[in-house]
Chain A
Amino acid sequence: NAGVTQTPKFQVLKTGQSMTLQCAQDMNHNSMYWYRQDPGMGLRLIYYSASEGTTDKGEVPNGYNVSRLNKREFSLRLESAAPSQTSVYFCASRREDSGSYEQYFGPGTRLTVT
């Protein structure tokens, strides 16, 4: 049981390049999330998916797209990377058992855009 996995762990992009961050969970969770973490700002929600086939914008969606490929996988795409997107990106999935609702986080992807 690997929990939430993310690839890659590190990435350096040039301005204007595109890339996709991959996330997978093996806990059979319905909800999945993408956050970005910047110093002093905590984690901010980019997009989330409450179930397979649905996605919704979070607090900071501009410049990103997502795909909920199936119940396990939720990818985040940067179509044209900008230096402002330099950040650490976390994927999470949510346990929905009665009395829990905990979100489980992956180890993160550190992205630098030059």
Chain B
Amino acid sequence: AQSVTQPDIHITVSEGASLELRCNYSYGATPYLFWYVQSPGQGLQLLLKYFSGDTLVQGIKGFEAEFKRSQSSFNLRKPSVHWSDAAEYFCAVGEAAGNKLTFGGGTRVLVKP
């Protein structure tokens, strides 16, 4: 069965500093990988996705993620965070072209002024 681990429950970062959120997955075949962001009281919004091809993918809001098959990882990065990036971030792995998603437990990001 597929699974997703986000080792960091909370991360605090200063505004303007870089951010990296870790995601490790377990899946037997080629994974379909996603990062979603959830602002307080809101639904989930897709930041980026990886299906195949270039292992470095660009998303919205200045985020990028790198797929590393050898490490079973799909870490999310942003070079310089803004106060508006304070949110909860979820990594997810999909089967059969994303018909069902398995989510990690989430990482809550706090941005200090």
Contact = CB atoms under 8 A, between A and B. Distances in A.
A25 interface: no
Place the interface of chain A in its size category: 20 to 34
B106 A42 contact: yes
B44 to A, nearest CB: 4
Contacts, number: 57
A40 B105 contact: yes
A40 B43 contact: no
A17 B32 CA distance: 39
A94 B42 contact: no
Nearest to B96: A101
A90 B45 CA distance: 12
B101 interface: yes
B101 A103 contact: yes
Given A99-B51, A105-B43, A94 B99 contact: yes
Contact of A105 (B9, B44, B51): B44
Interface in A91-114: 92, 94, 99, 101-108
A21 to B, nearest CB: 14
List the 4 closest pairs (A to B, CB-CB), nearest first: A101-B98, A42-B103, A105-B43, A105-B44
Interface of B: 4, 6, 9, 32, 34, 36, 42-46, 49, 51, 90, 94, 97-106
